Structure 1
Amino acid sequence: MPWFVKIEKGIVDKSTFDQFVPAHKDYVRSLIAKGHQAKTGYWGERGGGMMLFTAADLEEAKAIVAQDPLIQNGCVDYQIHEWCIVIE
């Protein structure tokens, strides 16, 4: 399965954002359980982050991202890209 990356930038204050982090983590755990090999994290300087995951195609990747609580609650602006791995 291809890899995808959701690159995000926070657009709400930290206290609002932090309300949805536990649900986001639970969502990522559910993706892992479904075989999407998801990983999530934030930039060291804060204010944004990314999620790596596998999906069958871009349409499935978009559907996966649309269900992320950070997206559903308007916490981040984001871009989705297919990540073409050159060396493993």
Structure 2
Amino acid sequence: MRVEGIAVKRYLVLAMRRPDFDPAVVQPHLDFLEGLRGGGRLELSGGFSDRSGGAYLMRAADMDEALSIVHQDPAYTSGGWDITVHEWNAH
């Protein structure tokens, strides 16, 4: 898989809401995801049916780049969500 001529890997991002998360962050987070989608970085995204959080599958060259992108997500910058990133060898 390539993005802009660069071989990339897939990263699964889990975003779990903390009890004190701010609901006002949801829309900026969704806007962030749309930006990733528009830039060809986002493959899939969605919330969990129990409203505890969600996940997204994105493309990046390596873990450092993936973390750099995720650290711009309002879900991360707000501090109200627990975010984990896993390189995913999905087929």
TM-score bin (small chain): 0.7 to 0.9
Match of 1:78 among 71, 80, 83: 83
Normalising by structure 1, we get a TM-score of 0.84
Q: Does 1:62 align with 2:62?
A: no
Task: Name the structure where helix makes up a greater proportion of residues.
Answer: 1
Q: CA deviation at 1:13?
A: 3.8
Which residue is equivalent to 1:24?
A: 29
- Pairwise CA distance, 1:38: 4.2
Instruction: Give the Cα–Cα distance (whole angstroms) in 2 for the partners of residues 44 and 33 of structure 1.
Output: 25
The structure in which a higher percent of residues are strand is 2
Q: Which runs of no fewer than 5 residues in structure 1 stay unpaired?
A: none
The runs of 5 or more residues in structure 2 that have no matched partner are 1-7
Identity of aligned residues (%): 31
Structure 1 residue ranges, 4+ long, deviating more than 4 angstroms after superposition: none
After superposition, the CA RMSD in angstroms is 1.5
